[in-house]
């Protein structure tokens, strides 16, 4: 059976399994969920090893007719880009399950529902990256909002209902714009060789469009993705959603779901609308740079640790977007790697922030103080995650962030220069909460917080390991990413700028 | 190559030490410090071994690079994790591991009462590893890793006692200001890649020969910013004074001997860029000159012994930067001063630590006095360092500083005279503030607070001080004998052509010694032979007041960057809520409002519904009327 | 004379009926106005039947009368029912359902 | 003149004749059967008639002829599909209508009188609704296949009159119910008058009252188009009134709210199918060649309808009213299928109508179940916390709402996709954009209800969910299943529609 | 080829204005009954027009069915809800009247304008040919062959209407209607005789039947002899004081 389909089926089967376990056997449910997600992760890793990184075509391809009269297929396949993101998703899910072992219990519904939602979401996370049929992609893109919506609204904290609604409405709005564009594409494909949603065939449709049409269709896709990977000024749903969701949900939201946006920019915006992408590049680069700086400033000004992390993500997504539209191999590979790394560093930050918040009963930064003395392991975990977030060399994010900056600089030096100021702001937005929450005297209310237990340590350790290992040795990922990035740019007709001075003389 | 594997170990050993100590947790409390010291010492041993290997080879063949693995490779951007050992880096390796090991030893005793001593040693080892990576990296990007690594270690160590909010703030400040410098380094690397297509030292050196001056000037200026951040040079100097929040051994190792000199390393390492970019080079000189006076001025007014020494460090690095900015003539001299400074300043910091150790962590020099009697070894070792720094022959500082002053004068023209005078003035100030420190601490009458029982430090503390003191006495002579260091470094910096000598060597020496005498005398008159208040007097000159306030560097930063930044942040936070999200909400409210308005058409009266239908029909036939016209 | 004149007449009657639906409040009068509209439509049909020379229009008109009769039965039943509940046949009084 | 003996094709008319026969038997039962047995025998007859009708329809599914009834009925693929949809929806709705809790015990009694109380105590039932419903269904079956204007008019009245009556038969809030009947009747008759005038002018224009005759005149008319356009305009008033398009929509919120919920569900779903069937037939068959004249107006009406329905629905507080406005918005979406004026537009419309109809019946079925001591609870605020009390019911309702909103994996999405692509394919970009925007607005109020049910705490005010009767359960279950299946695997139905749906002239 | 003769034209120009005036009158008169009569008049004129236009059958049906039956039904219902009920013609819905008038003028104007603009591209034919076998026969031909299907379906419509009227009007008694005797017994057993005599008949000022209420003397005081002594003895007499003129509350309150 096809590896990707298997990976998508497993969580569904797992959720059915959980559905038959009685609701009161919470432990059994959790164990089942963990086992299933681990199994998926193992499958994911095996897929990774079976992947031929030299081949730039889609691999593990499967295509089954779904709605033939519309030319819709269930078609999956991965290249380096999607493989990396799928790997990230399947690795993060068991970590989320383990790290948020008890977060299902304060919700409106039972733990059972929580894990069913998580597993369904996992299927969709794999599917959304694996889909090579635009319609299938869209279906999953939209449908995955629903489990997240219920996860935030049902198990979150604070003003969770409002946050969930805002998240859903924003996303739906973007999704509907994308639907309009997809319909446009579909109609154009119908007039030029028969209705299809196959991404390979659709990627030739730009030859049949006027530039206005192409620009409009591009915008439909791009706005949807810009909402998903929140790009200024479409970001205002994120802080609320991330802060209100359970830490696990927020990890999946920021770490995986938002990546669908940046993933989509590469996979769809660039591939389907190469000319429009060129047209809009200046605007998008500008927005990305604004996001970087703006997100950083808002993170500095944030008083809530979860919101802070959400704002840092806005900044990071700015980097990713910038790298994508820089149209250089460094930018592209950097962005793809950045997606992976951001998944893990944000996961670490959010998981630890979640632990802090659940122990303290508050996520206000001001409520913490001197945790380093009380809970050294937790504090260290937060610190390392923070360092990764500010792209400290030696940790994974640095490689990707630097690649993005270098890749951007060769084509858009001004943007890169402004974006680089973001690294100073990054130091501020990480060190301010570190100083306030971890350092300083232990403030009242924090004296007796327990440090991480074994389960939590086991959950956070692999994240830390990935963060550090990839900082020193990113080659395994880059080897997979590079051919894909190069291929995409080649198809787009972009070549890296030559070094200006050595070329001149 | 037999030496190749051990290069990696050089870094790996201390790194392993830090990881083991951090992961092992409390279990390692008993033996952690010993392991760390041993690892640091073995790195030093490896360094010596490398040196011996190098000495066997011809000068031209001594440098070699070693590729560990391919680190980042995307398109044409290929960076290996590679190490470069040459004459320049071996100097640093030995300085770092040598002084580092001494300070490890010192810290065993100094930190023995701290419950987190293990953590402290882990940080120290981390620092050693990062610093070694900084000086051994074969490309700017590798250097960058070490560069930020030492920044991290420095942050951790400054904030080692971060339960005190002020210390936590100090560490954050250091990190952030360093990051500004790092940004410069990022820019430099980006420009280098974009214009030259490579980021290795060797590659850039080769490409720089054909590169445009504008490019190189750009890279040079960015490197200067980086150097300024790391080495506390004007205008990024403000963090160094606050960095004294860290335990004294840290100040000795990181903020005196090694890390802060990384900027000088960077500039000298990039000599090929600055040589081809006169504007950048001039800026280096200016930064160095300004800082040397700036630091010295601050040093004259500080009562906190560590801050006085920190100001002195700033000033001395100013000397080095200035020298490095003088081109081929100055690189080696800058390195020489760097090395001698490493010895005497580390020694003095350790001495200061020893004093604090004996004085219950009192740092206010106005509360010292007459300690020479009680701490003879400290007194002597500190005194030797003192003599070295103010430049009394034949101590180390005399040789190196003398050369800087001479080279400055020899820079030629107005520039030479100006720079020479500034270095001389700096020498006067140095002599003044160091004498002041010496006198206030050791020889003037005692002004202790109650309940002080000064005593000499234990052997583990004074032994490193003695070793460093010996270094501060001898190194100057050793390095200059037959221009040993200059020749040693020639393969790296290239031979420098002959300069027009503005002043003969002897005249410069005489001038320098005169400067020392002037500065020291004033200090002696002011502090040894007149009453010193235990409290800092308030009625002082405006200059003193400014100097006490670090020449308003913090106020400047606060009012120009921090406050506006905070205001901007507040605006943005508000703006995000009101304007950006407000727009979104407005859209929602508009829809709701429209709904509420349109809803009013649903009056509940059947007659108005039929009116609606009638109007609909009217509009339709009006449409017909229009299209059939 | 032109047979179109019947069309003008029918148009006027139809309009008057439509206005009556809008302006009169008594449900029965409103309904009578609707009947007027139907009659106007029938007149149109008959006229067109004559113009076209086919009887189809008359057939439609005939069906209209039958349908209208049914409509009257149902409509008056509804009006009577509501009158009995409310003691009022004013359509304006029936405005509980709104917005 | 020679008398031509009429010949009827009884096989093709059988679906309608069976339903009419069922209705007549129902009337006889009312007249002669003892009261105790009336209900069960009526239910049986009704169901039997509907199922038999469906079976009869199945027998003739592949036939097509214009001579089924002397040219009065066009029996073709599209007609079969409309009739089948109506019958399926009717069967589902009959199960709801069978729950006599919805209906007044004695329609003739004055609300609040002793007589009414006694009738309730005596457990009287208005079993006449069954034959009335069957008459309405017969009219609905005839409406979309009518191929001359007389039949069209008679069918229109035949489906309307029983609905006028049944709208007034609610058990609770009878004044409102009667008011609904009055409004529906008066406005319906008003619109019928326009419809009739339209018929007159079409007849005047073409000299024929058959659709094909009109089409011939449109193609080859000698005079100008004034009479044609008057006819189109006036007949459109009548038809658009039935589907609830702005500005002829005003009756629908009031009537939906006032009528017994089961009837509301029935008429919202089935009337829409019938009316759109007729609209599609008339515009596709007769007016297609005059498209440039009526299409702009239709586009404007469609856009206004979509936007108006969506925008006003946001502010609604009553669930039935909200669904009414939602159905207005859907009428706008469906008009896109009329505007498309292509085979794919027809197919999309049929799919959309079926999917929407089934979901609507299901949704209203659920509305009947949420009650307090005084009957159904329409106030949405009192629906809060429903998800907690009856998760299954709330989830099902949420499913229907998501289908209305057009979220992927529900039938609504496929419908929306296909209808908008059809509209866009025929060049109506504005429809596509307006549709997408109003879908975004519409999503807001659907989601608001979901939020209320799932994320708001319940108010203890006696609102409860009654245990649904077996019949209601069947309706809701089947509707939900169809909604889901058509969302996940619609291919068989789409293919069937594609092979079947044609209009003959 | 249609040729309209002068008599028809004269008739048209006489009757058409009358019918329009009647229709307008329908809008403007207060009483529903007047409206109904005016409508009947319009219908009759239309019947005449039908006949004039060779639609003899329709003309007769118009009079017999429409004017005769349907309008009678209207009148009947009008009687039921109060024959003298009159509409206040003041508009209560703000802004509706100007809108309605504007819309009506616009609608009517445009409508007429459009008709005048219309061309059919063919001559008016007239019904001579179609009515060759007689109008009724011609219609019958159509009705029973071409339009047999709607003709049959319309029967269902009639049944629907009947059924519908039944549903709304038919009272299904849950208990048997009490006979007069039962009612009478119930009245007398009610404990007081006050209700025994039943209520006064409509249209009179009395509020009680006379059995237990004293008559009033010219000065307005109660006449003691006007009440049976038995009743007086039994105490079933109403206190007459409340009926004395000075006590009668003669302020007029508007009935709702």
**Pair A284, A321: CB distance under 8 Å:** yes
Q: Is the pLDDT of residue A305 over 60?
A: yes
Buried b (16+ CB within 10 A) or exposed e, D124-157: bbbbbbbbbbbbbbbbbbbbbbbbbbbbbbbbbb
In chain B, which residues have pLDDT < 50? Answer: 1-3
Nearest C-alpha neighbor of A331 from the set A264, A419, A391, A407: A407
CA angle B349, B353, B355 (to 5 degrees): 115
Average pLDDT, chain E: 80
Answer yes or no: is D5 within a domain: no
Please list every residue in chain D whose beta carbon sits closer than 8 Å to the beta carbon of residue B629: none
**Pair D410, D402: CB distance under 8 Å:** yes
Rg (CA), chain B: 30
pLDDT in tens, A438-464: 888 888 888 888 888 888 888 888 888
Beta carbons of A402 and B163 less than 8 Å apart: no
Q: Is the pLDDT of residue E193 over 70?
A: no
Nearest C-alpha neighbor of A299 from the set A171, A400, A168, A434: A434
Please list every residue in chain A whose beta carbon sits closer than 8 Å to the beta carbon of residue D456: 161
E44: phi then psi, degrees, rounded to nearest 5: -65, -45
pLDDT in tens, E18-35: 999 999 998 888 888 888
E93 by DSSP, 3-state: which? coil
Please list every residue in chain D whose beta carbon sits closer than 8 Å to the beta carbon of residue B599: 312, 315-316
d(CA E256, CA E254): 6
d(CA C74, CA C66): 13
Partner residues linked to D210 by β-bridges: D148
DSSP E201-221: PTTSS-SS-GGGS-EE-TTS-
E101 touches chain B (CB under 8 A): no
Beta carbons of E53 and C1 less than 8 Å apart: no
Non-local CB neighbours of E133 within 8 Å, separated by 6+ positions: D1, E141
d(CA D106, CA D99): 15
d(CA B621, CA D230): 7
* Assigned token pair, B329: 């003539």
Non-local CB neighbours of D385 within 8 Å, separated by 6+ positions: D453, D456, D457, D458, D459
Answer yes or no: is D218 within a domain: yes
Residue B512 is predicted with a pLDDT of 85
D176 touches chain E (CB under 8 A): no
B586 touches chain C (CB under 8 A): no
Non-local CB neighbours of A25 within 8 Å, separated by 6+ positions: none
- By residue range, what is the domain housing residue D60? 10-500
The 8-class DSSP code of residue D318 comes to B
**Pair D467, D360: CB distance under 8 Å:** no
**Pair D286, D279: CB distance under 8 Å:** no
Q: How far apart are the CA of D165 and the nearest CA of chain C, in angstroms?
A: 7
CA closest to C38 among chain E residues: E43
CA closest to D221 among chain E residues: E121
pLDDT in tens, A250-293: 888 888 888 999 999 888 888 888 888 888 999 999 999 999 99
CA closest to C43 among chain D residues: D200
d(CA B419, CA C88): 108
Answer yes or no: is D330 within a domain: yes
B398 by DSSP, 3-state: which? helix
**Mean pLDDT, rounded, for C9-33:** 90
**Mean pLDDT, rounded, for A205-228:** 88
Rg (CA), chain C: 16
DSSP B137-154: BSBHHHHHHHHHHHHHHH
Q: Where do the domains of chain B lie?
A: 162-552, 555-628
Residue E138 is predicted with a pLDDT of 87
D436 touches chain A (CB under 8 A): yes
Non-local CB neighbours of B214 within 8 Å, separated by 6+ positions: none
pLDDT in tens, D113-162: 878 888 888 778 888 899 999 999 999 999 999 988 999 999 999 999 99
How crowded is residue E241: how many other Cβ atoms within 10 Å of its Cβ?
11
Beta carbons of D311 and B594 less than 8 Å apart: yes
Beta carbons of D432 and A165 less than 8 Å apart: no
Give the confidence band of E253 by pLDDT, cuts at 50, 70, 90: low
Give the confidence band of D199 by pLDDT, cuts at 50, 70, 90: very high
d(CA B330, CA B403): 9
Residue D142 is predicted with a pLDDT of 93
Answer yes or no: is D3 within a domain: no
H helices present in A68-209, as ranges: 80-99, 111-130, 134-143, 145-155, 160-191, 199-202
Residue D25 is predicted with a pLDDT of 93
d(CA B361, CA B354): 9
Q: How many domains does chain D have?
A: 1
Contact map slice: E 12-51 vs C, CB within 8 A: 12, 16, 19-20, 23-24, 26-27, 32, 35-36, 39, 42-43, 46, 49-50
**Mean pLDDT, rounded, for D69-82:** 88
**Mean pLDDT, rounded, for C4-9:** 90
d(CA E138, CA B296): 124
Q: How far apart are the CA of D440 and the nearest CA of chain A, in angstroms?
A: 5
How crowded is residue E68: how many other Cβ atoms within 10 Å of its Cβ?
14
Q: Is the pLDDT of residue E238 over 70?
A: no
E90 touches chain D (CB under 8 A): no
Q: How far from chain centre, in Å, is Cα B411?
A: 26
d(CA B247, CA B244): 7
Beta carbons of D204 and C56 less than 8 Å apart: no
Non-local CB neighbours of C60 within 8 Å, separated by 6+ positions: C45, D149, D150, D153, D199, D200, D203, D209
Q: Is the pLDDT of residue D434 over 80?
A: yes
H helices present in E81-200, as ranges: 96-117, 135-141, 148-169, 180-188
Read off the pTM.
Answer: 0.88
Most confident of A140-144, B323-327, E128-132: A140-144
Beta carbons of C95 and B604 less than 8 Å apart: yes
Nearest to D150 among E115, E147, E175 (CB): E147
Chains C and A touch (3+ CB pairs under 8 A): no
A169 touches chain D (CB under 8 A): yes
Contact map slice: C 19-78 vs D, CB within 8 A: 21, 27, 30-31, 34, 37-38, 40-42, 44-45, 47-49, 51-54, 56-57, 59-60, 63-64, 67, 70-71, 74-75, 77-78
Start-to-end CA distance of chain C, whole Å, equals 51
Q: Is the pLDDT of residue D84 over 90?
A: yes
* Assigned token pair, B313: 């460090």
Q: Is the pLDDT of residue A102 over 70?
A: yes
**Pair B283, B376: CB distance under 8 Å:** no
E5: phi then psi, degrees, rounded to nearest 5: -80, 160
Residue E196 is predicted with a pLDDT of 65
Residue B2 is predicted with a pLDDT of 41
Residue E242 is predicted with a pLDDT of 62
Chains B and A touch (3+ CB pairs under 8 A): yes
Q: How far from chain centre, in Å, is Cα B152?
A: 12
**Mean pLDDT, rounded, for A80-90:** 90
Chain D neighbors (3+ CB pairs < 8 Å): A, B, C, E
Beta carbons of C99 and B600 less than 8 Å apart: yes
Which residue of D315, D442, D445 to mutate against B (max B Cβ within 10 Å)?
D315
Answer yes or no: is D1 within a domain: no
Average pLDDT, chain C: 88
Q: Is the pLDDT of residue E175 over 80?
A: no
**Mean pLDDT, rounded, for D403-412:** 89
Residue E172 is predicted with a pLDDT of 67
Rg (CA), chain A: 22
pLDDT in tens, D238-267: 999 999 998 899 899 999 998 999 999 999
D169 touches chain E (CB under 8 A): yes
CA closest to A154 among chain D residues: D455
Buried b (16+ CB within 10 A) or exposed e, A136-150: bbbbbbbbbbbbbbb
**Pair E100, E73: CB distance under 8 Å:** no
């Amino acid at each position: 059976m096809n590896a990707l389909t298997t990976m998508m089926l497993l969580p569904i089967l797992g959720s059915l399994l959980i559905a038959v376990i009685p609701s009161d056997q919470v432990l059994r449910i959790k164990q089942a969920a963990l086992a299933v997600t681990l199994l998926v992760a193992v499958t994911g890793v095996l897929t990774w090893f079976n992947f031929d990184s030299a081949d730039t075509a889609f691999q593990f391809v499967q295509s089954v007719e779904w709605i033939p009269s519309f030319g819709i297929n269930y078609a999956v396949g991965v290249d380096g880009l999607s493989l990396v993101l799928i790997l990230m998703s399947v690795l993060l899910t068991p970590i989320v399950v383990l790290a948020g072992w008890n977060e299902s219990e304060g919700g409106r519904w039972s733990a059972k529902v929580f894990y069913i939602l998580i597993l369904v979401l996992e299927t969709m996370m794999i599917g959304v990256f694996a889909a090579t049929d635009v319609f299938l992609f869209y279906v999953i893109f939209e449908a995955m909002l629903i489990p997240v919506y219920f996860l935030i609204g049902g198990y979150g904290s604070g003003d969770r209902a409002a946050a969930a609604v805002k998240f859903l409405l924003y996303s739906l709005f973007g999704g509907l714009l994308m639907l309009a564009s997809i319909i446009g594409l579909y109609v154009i494909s119908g007039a030029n060789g028969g209705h299809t949603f196959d991404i390979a065939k659709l990627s030739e449709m730009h030859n049949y469009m006027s530039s206005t049409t192409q620009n409009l269709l591009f915008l439909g896709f791009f706005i949807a993705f810009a909402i998903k990977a929140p790009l200024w000024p479409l970001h205002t749903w994120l802080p609320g959603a991330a802060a209100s969701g359970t830490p696990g949900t927020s990890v999946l939201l920021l770490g995986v779901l938002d990546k669908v946006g940046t993933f989509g920019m590469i996979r769809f915006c660039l591939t389907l609308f190469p000319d429009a992408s060129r047209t809009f590049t200046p605007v998008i680069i500008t927005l990305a740079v604004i996001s970087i700086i703006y997100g950083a400033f808002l993170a500095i000004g944030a008083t809530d640790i979860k919101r802070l992390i959400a704002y840092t993500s806005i900044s990071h997504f700015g980097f990713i977007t910038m790298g994508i539209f820089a149209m250089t191999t460094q930018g592209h590979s950097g962005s793809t790697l950045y997606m992976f790394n951001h998944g893990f560093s944000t996961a670490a930050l959010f998981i630890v922030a979640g632990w802090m918040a659940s122990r303290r009963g508050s996520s206000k930064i001001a409520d913490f103080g001197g945790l380093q003395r009380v809970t050294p392991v937790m504090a260290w975990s937060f610190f390392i995650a923070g360092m990764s977030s500010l792209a400290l060399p030696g940790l994974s994010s640095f490689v990707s962030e630097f690649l993005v900056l270098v890749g951007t600089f060769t084509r858009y030096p001004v943007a890169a220069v402004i974006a680089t100021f973001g690294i100073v702001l990054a130091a501020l937005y990480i060190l301010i909460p570190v100083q306030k929450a971890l350092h300083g005297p232990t403030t009242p209310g924090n004296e007796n917080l327990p440090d991480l237990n074994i389960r939590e340590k086991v959950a956070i350790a692999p994240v830390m390991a990935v963060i550090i290992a990839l900082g020193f040795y990113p080659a395994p990922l880059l080897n997979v990413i590079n051919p894909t990035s190069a291929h995409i740019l080649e198809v787009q007709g972009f070549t890296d700028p030559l070094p200006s001075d050595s070329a001149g003389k | 190559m037999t030496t190749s594997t051990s290069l990696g170990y050089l870094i790996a050993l201390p790194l392993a030490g830090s990881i083991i100590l951090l992961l092992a947790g409390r279990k390692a409390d008993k033996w952690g410090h010993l392991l760390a010291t041993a690892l640091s010492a073995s790195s030093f041993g490896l360094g010596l071994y490398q040196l011996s290997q190098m000495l066997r080879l011809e000068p031209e063949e001594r440098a070699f690079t070693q590729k560990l693995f391919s680190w980042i490779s995307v398109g044409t951007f290929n960076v290996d994790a590679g190490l470069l050992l040459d004459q320049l880096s071996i100097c640093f390796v030995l300085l770092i591991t040598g002084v580092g090991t001494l300070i490890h030893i010192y810290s065993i005793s100094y930190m023995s009462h701290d419950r987190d001593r293990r953590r402290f040693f882990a940080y120290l080892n981390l620092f050693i590893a990062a610093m070694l990576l900084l000086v051994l990296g074969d490309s700017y990007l590798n250097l960058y890793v070490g560069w930020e690594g030492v920044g991290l270690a420095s942050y951790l160590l400054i904030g080692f006692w971060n339960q005190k909010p002020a210390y936590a703030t100090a560490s954050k400040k250091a990190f952030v200001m360093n990051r500004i410098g790092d940004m410069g380094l990022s820019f430099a690397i980006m420009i280098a890649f974009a214009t030259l297509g490579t980021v290795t030292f060797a590659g850039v050196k080769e490409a720089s020969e054909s590169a445009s001056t504008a490019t190189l000037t750009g890279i040079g200026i960015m490197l200067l910013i980086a150097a300024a951040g790391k080495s506390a040079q004007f205008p990024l100097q403000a963090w160094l004074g606050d960095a004294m929040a860290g335990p004294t051994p840290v100040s000795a190792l990181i903020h005196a001997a090694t890390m802060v000199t990384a900027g000088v390393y960077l500039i000298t390492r990039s000599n090929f860029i600055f040589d081809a970019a006169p504007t950048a080079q001039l800026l280096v000189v200016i930064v160095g000159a300004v800082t040397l006076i700036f630091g010295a001025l601050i040093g004259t007014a500080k009562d906190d012994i560590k801050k006085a020494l920190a100001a002195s460090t700033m000033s001395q690095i100013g000397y080095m930067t200035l020298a490095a900015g003088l081109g081929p003539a100055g690189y080696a001299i800058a390195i020489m001063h760097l090395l001698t400074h490493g010895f005497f300043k580390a020694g003095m910091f350790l001495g200061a630590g020893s004093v604090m150790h004996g004085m219950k962590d009192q740092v206010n020099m106005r509360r010292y006095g007459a300690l020479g009697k009680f701490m003879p070894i400290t007194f002597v070792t500190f005194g030797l360092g003192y003599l070295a720094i103010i430049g009394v022959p034949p101590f180390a500082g005399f040789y190196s500083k003398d050369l800087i002053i001479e080279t400055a004068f020899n820079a030629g023209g107005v520039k030479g005279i100006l720079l020479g005078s500034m270095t001389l003035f700096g020498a006067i100030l140095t002599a003044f503030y160091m004498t002041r420190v010496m006198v206030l601490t050791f020889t003037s009458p005692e002004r202790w607070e109650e309940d002080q029982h000064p005593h000499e430090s234990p052997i583990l503390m004074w032994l490193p001080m003695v070793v460093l003191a010996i270094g501060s006495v001898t190194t100057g002579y050793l390095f200059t004998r037959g221009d040993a260091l200059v020749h040693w470094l020639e393969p790296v910096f290239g031979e420098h052509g002959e300069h027009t000598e503005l002043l003969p060597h002897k005249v410069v020496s005489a001038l320098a010694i005169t400067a020392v005498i002037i500065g020291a005398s004033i200090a002696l008159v002011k502090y040894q032979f007149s009453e010193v208040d235990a409290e800092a007097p308030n009625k002082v000159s405006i200059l003193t007041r400014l100097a006490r306030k670090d020449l308003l560097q913090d106020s400047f930063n606060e009012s120009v960057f921090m406050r506006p930044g905070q205001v901007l942040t507040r605006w943005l936070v508000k703006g995000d809520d009101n304007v950006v999200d407000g727009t979104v909400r407005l859209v929602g409210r508009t829809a709701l409002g429209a709904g509420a308005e349109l809803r009013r058409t649903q009056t509940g009266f059947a007659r108005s519904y039929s009116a609606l239908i009638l109007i609909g029909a009217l509009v339709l036939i009006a449409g017909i009327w229009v299209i059939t016209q | 004379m032109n047979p179109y004149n019947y069309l003008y007449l029918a148009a006027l009657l139809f309009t008057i009926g439509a206005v009556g639906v809008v302006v009169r409040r008594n449900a029965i009068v409103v309904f009578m106005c609707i009947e007027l509209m139907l009659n106007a439509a029938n007149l149109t049909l008959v006229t067109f039947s004559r113009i076209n020379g086919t009887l189809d229009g008359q057939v439609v008109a005939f069906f209209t009368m039958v349908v209208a009769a049914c409509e009257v039965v149902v409509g008056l039943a509804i009006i009577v029912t509501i009158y009995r509940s409310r003691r009022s046949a004013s359509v304006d009084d029936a405005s509980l359902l709104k917005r | 003149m020679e008398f031509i003996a009429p010949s009827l094709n009884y096989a093709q008319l059988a679906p309608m004749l069976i339903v009419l026969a069922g209705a007549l038997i129902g009337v006889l039962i009312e007249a002669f059967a003892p009261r105790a047995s009336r209900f069960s025998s009526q239910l049986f007859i009704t169901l039997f008639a509907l199922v038999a009708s469906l079976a009869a329809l199945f027998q003739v599914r592949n036939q097509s002829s214009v001579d089924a009834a002397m040219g009065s009925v066009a029996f073709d693929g599209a007609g079969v599909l409309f009739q089948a949809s109506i019958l399926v929806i009717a069967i589902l709705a009959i199960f709801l209508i069978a729950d006599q809790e919805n209906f007044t015990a004695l329609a003739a009694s004055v609300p609040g009188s002793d007589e009414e109380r006694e009738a309730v105590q005596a457990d009287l039932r208005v079993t006449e609704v069954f034959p009335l419903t069957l008459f309405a269904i017969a009219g609905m079956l005839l409406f979309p296949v009518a191929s001359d204007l007389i039949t069209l008019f008679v069918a229109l009245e035949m489906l309307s009159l029983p609905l006028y009556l049944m709208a007034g038969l609610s058990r609770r809030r009878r004044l409102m119910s009667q008011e609904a009947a009055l409004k529906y009747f008066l406005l319906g008759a008003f619109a019928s008058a326009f419809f009739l005038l339209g018929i007159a002018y079409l007849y005047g224009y073409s000299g024929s009252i058959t659709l094909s005759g009109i089409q011939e005149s449109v193609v080859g008319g000698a005079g100008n188009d004034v009479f044609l356009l008057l006819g189109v305009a006036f007949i459109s008033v009548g038809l658009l009134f039935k589907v609830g398009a702005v500005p002829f929509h005003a009756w629908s919120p009031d009537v939906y709210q006032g009528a017994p919920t089961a009837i509301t569900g029935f008429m919202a779903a089935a009337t829409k199918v019938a009316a759109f069937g007729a609209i599609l037939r008339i515009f596709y068959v007769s007016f297609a060649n005059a498209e440039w004249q009526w299409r702009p107006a239709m586009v404007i009406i469609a856009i206004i309808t979509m936007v108006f329905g969506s925008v006003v629905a946001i502010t609604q507080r009553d669930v039935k009213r909200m669904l009414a406005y939602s159905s207005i918005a859907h009428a706008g979406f469906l008009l896109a299928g009329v505007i498309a004026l292509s085979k794919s537009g027809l197919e999309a419309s049929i799919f959309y109508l079926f999917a929407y109809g089934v979901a609507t019946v299901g949704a209203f079925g659920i509305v009947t179940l949420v009650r307090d001591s005084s009957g159904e609870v329409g106030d949405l605020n009192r629906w809060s916390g429903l998800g907690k009390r009856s998760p299954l019911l709330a989830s099902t309702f949420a499913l229907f709402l998501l289908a209305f909103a057009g979220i992927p994996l529900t039938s609504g999405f496929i419908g929306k996709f296909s209808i908008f692509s059809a509209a866009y394919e025929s060049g109506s970009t504005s429809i596509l954009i307006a549709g997408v925007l109003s879908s975004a607005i519409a999503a807001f109020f659907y989601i608001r209800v979901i939020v209320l049910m799932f994320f708001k705490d319940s108010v203890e005010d006696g609102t409860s969910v009654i245990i649904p009767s077996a019949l209601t359960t069947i309706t809701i279950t089947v509707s939900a299943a169809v909604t889901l299946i058509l969302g996940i695997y619609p291919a068989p139905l789409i293919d069937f529609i594609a092979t079947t749906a044609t209009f003959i002239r | 080829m249609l040729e309209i003769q002068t008599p028809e034209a004269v008739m048209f120009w006489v009757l058409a204005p009358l019918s329009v005036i009647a229709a307008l009158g329908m809008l403007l008169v207060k009483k529903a009954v007047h409206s109904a009569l005016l409508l009947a008049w319009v219908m009759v004129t239309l019947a005449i027009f039908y006949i004039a236009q060779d639609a003899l059958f329709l003309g007769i049906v118009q009079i017999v069915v429409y004017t005769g039956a349907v309008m009678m039904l209207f009148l009947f219902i009008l009687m039921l809800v109060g024959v003298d009920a009159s509409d206040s013609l003041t508009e209560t819905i703000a802004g509706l009247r100007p809108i309605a008038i504007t819309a009506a003028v616009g609608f009517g104007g445009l409508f007429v304008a459009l008709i005048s603009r219309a061309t059919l591209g063919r001559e008016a034919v007239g019904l001579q040919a179609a009515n060759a076998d007689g109008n009724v026969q011609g219609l019958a031909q159509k009705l029973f062959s071409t339009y047999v299907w709607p003709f049959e379906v319309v029967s269902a419509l009639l049944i629907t209407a009947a059924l519908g009227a039944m549903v709304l009007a038919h009272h299904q008694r849950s208990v048997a209607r009490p006979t007069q005797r039962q009612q009478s017994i119930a009245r007398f057993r009610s404990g007081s005789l006050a209700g025994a005599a039943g209520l006064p008949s409509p249209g009179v000022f009395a509020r009680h039947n006379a059995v237990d209420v004293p008559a009033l003397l010219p000065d307005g005081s109660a006449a003691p002899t006007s009440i049976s002594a038995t009743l007086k003895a039994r105490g079933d007499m109403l206190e007459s004081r409340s009926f004395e003129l000075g006590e009668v509350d003669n302020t007029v309150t508007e009935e709702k």
